[in-house]
Structure 1
Amino acid sequence: MSAKPLEQCAQAEKTAFVFPGQGSQKAGMLAELATQFSLVKETFTEASDALGLDLWHIAQSGEGLNQTENTQPVLLTASTAIWRVWLSLGGLRPKYLAGHSLGEYSALVAAQSLSLTDAVKLVHLRGKLMQSAVPQGQGAMAAILGLSDEQVLELCQIATQAGSGQVEAANYNTKGQVVIAGAATAVQLAIDHAKAQGAKAIALPVSVPSHCSLMKPAAEAFADALEQTAIELPKVPVIHNVSADVAKDVVALRLALKEQLYRSVQWTSTIQSLQDQGVRYIAECGPGVVLSNMAKRLPQLEKTFALDTPSRIDDALNTILVAEGQIV
């Protein structure tokens, strides 16, 4: 069964799809889905051929899966495979798409702004550039739980002014949950200050300090690749990380992807924007439940879904078709 062309899909009015970023990967992802839908392995073959890597083997064995240059194309391919399965089953075209960090590229592939082959090449390079921008061990990230955005910004400022390097807010994930990134010593100092205020602070097991100023050299190099890649305006509106808004032209879209490397992910604002635009159902198109769990906190959302197993896709498909008036 092949994916139905996007323009032939019925349009949803209450549903958005979101695509996860790094951290959602796990060995064996999509194995159950692949036993029922040949589209899964076909999608991985298409992406693998573009890179000369066996992405399905990496995804199933876990060998090299947590190396950033591998993680990014594997996750993008996994999300694209799920999206294609959704369309093949008669799923609706969402009102909006959005992706967290790397997930923005998955959203752009779903919106036919980028081809899968171009996108996996881009994110493979993106991972390499991010990894090489900061020497191993010199950068770090941490999740701060229980403080307001303003309090997190203040502790970042205090830690930076102490002279041990710069630390910044990297991901505004949801109210009371902000990820910080920067120089390892400064991140540790910010962790200490957060705990002193009674907050929970968790150092993240990452090799790259994403979405902070340390990534500016990577962004400059990446901009050349973006200029050489064919990009079209999305056929479904895609909300960008850096602005929580929709790009109006391809020039703005390319700039948003470049700046995404060193600017904060505005995920709290992104999800709030979806809610403000009448979205009541959010489906997470990728392995895991990170984004769907975060979205559950929003009061106006009626339900969130994960789509990484056949039973979860079936539940989402039936519920959304009824909610959108496609099944009476």
Structure 2
Amino acid sequence: MKAYIFPGQGAQFTGMGKDLYENSSKAKELFHQANEILGFDITKIMFEGTPDELKETKVTQPAIFLHSTILAEVMGSNFQPDMVAGHSLGEISALVANRTLAFSDGLQLVYKRALAMQHACELTPSTMAAVLGLEDHLVEEICANTPGIVVAANYNCPGQLVISGDVDAVGKACESLKEAGARRALILPVGGAFHSPLMEPAREELAAAIEATQFTEPACPIYQNVSTFAVTNPSEIKENLIFQLTAPVKWTQSIQNMIKDGATKFIEVGPGNVLQGLVKKIDSSMETEKAEV
């Protein structure tokens, strides 16, 4: 069974999607549609922008979404998923690819999500840190015993977690994690505490937009970050998506469940190849590849 996986923030690069634009009239049409929906020329930033311009949340999130969803669309009959999943932002790309969401609705949600997260980041000085070489339960325990707000935010693969919270709490937790034997506990260059309680203002802002958007029966199950199991019910998908901003990304558990349910090959759709690497760390026997037209 083929599982298609969609990347999140951090996978962007200058020139992303340009080959699709130049070689497919369908892709060109969708990129132009995206410029109209967003009200600015995102294609110009994607194709020619500096790394700093691409790093802006309001650009990064729609850019990665566009690269992933347009690639899936251009693949045509070669895109035959038995199941899908997306890492954080990638979940919305996956929902467009499996026909739960229309392309235009997905793009509008991604843009609203980016702006809502940006607003939440401005309210409280907050950050995230990568923790390598410790078991999940130890990281969770240390976070729980650290004063302030700090939680496990991304379960990327065994031995690789990201924690998220207010600046002081994350800093203190990093010291404790190193003392407990973490190989690394490194502050990440991000705008705020994604997938933590500090994203509650963004969750509230986005919830109304999600509720107002039409979700239809998907073409195949999605394994969502919040629940980690196969979901096909549009109401359930909607609910999980609303809680995604304040809940951890349970990527390890999602991939394990996809494998348990019969996935034999994972195909990454969009920029970068980070997710293929994570799949290999979760189960080295899995076949992985990059989606191509």
Q: TM-score range by the shorter chain?
A: over 0.9
Q: 1:273 aligns with which of 257, 281, 292?
A: 257
Q: Which amino acid aligns with 1:70?
A: V
Q: Which amino acid aligns with 1:138?
A: P
Deviations 1:74-131 (A, max 9, x none): 11111011101222xx314111010000000000001111111111111111111111
List aligned pairs for 1:125-144, cutoff 5 A: 125-135=112-122, 138-144=125-131
Q: 2:145 aligns with which of 129, 148, 158?
A: 158
Q: 1:92 to 1:224 in 2, by over 3 A?
A: closer
Q: 2:180 aligns with which of 173, 179, 197?
A: 197
Q: 1:277 to 1:58 in 2, by over 3 A?
A: same
Name the Cα RMSD after superposition. Answer: 1.7
Equivalents in 1 of 2:54, 2:284: separation in Å? 36
Give secondary structure in 1 for the equivalent of 2:54: coil
The aligned residue for residue 177 of structure 1 is: 160
Equivalents in 2 of 1:195, 1:42: separation in Å? 50
Q: Tell whether 2:204 aligns with 1:220.
A: yes
Contact 1:168 1:212 in 2 (8 A): yes
Q: Which amino acid aligns with 1:115?
A: A
Q: Which blocks of at least 5 consecutive residues in structure 1 are unaligned?
A: 1-13, 308-312, 315-328
TM-score (normalised: structure 1): 0.84
Contact 1:136 1:207 in 2 (8 A): no
Deviation at 1:248, TM superposition (A): 4.5
Deviation at 1:137, TM superposition (A): 7.0
Q: Tell whether 2:97 aligns with 1:110.
A: yes
Equivalents in 1 of 2:11, 2:163: separation in Å? 18
Q: Tell whether 2:106 aligns with 1:119.
A: yes
Q: 1:288 aligns with which of 272, 277, 280?
A: 272
Deviation at 1:41, TM superposition (A): 2.8
Would you identify which runs of 4 or more consecutive aligned residues in structure 1 move more than 2 Å? 30-43, 61-64, 134-137, 246-251, 297-302
Q: Which blocks of at least 5 consecutive residues in structure 2 are unaligned?
A: none
Q: Which amino acid aligns with 1:25?
A: Q
Equivalents in 2 of 1:62, 1:152: separation in Å? 37
Q: Identity of counterpart residues, as a percentage?
A: 39
Give secondary structure in 1 for the equivalent of 2:4: strand
Q: Tell whether 2:71 aligns with 1:82.
A: yes
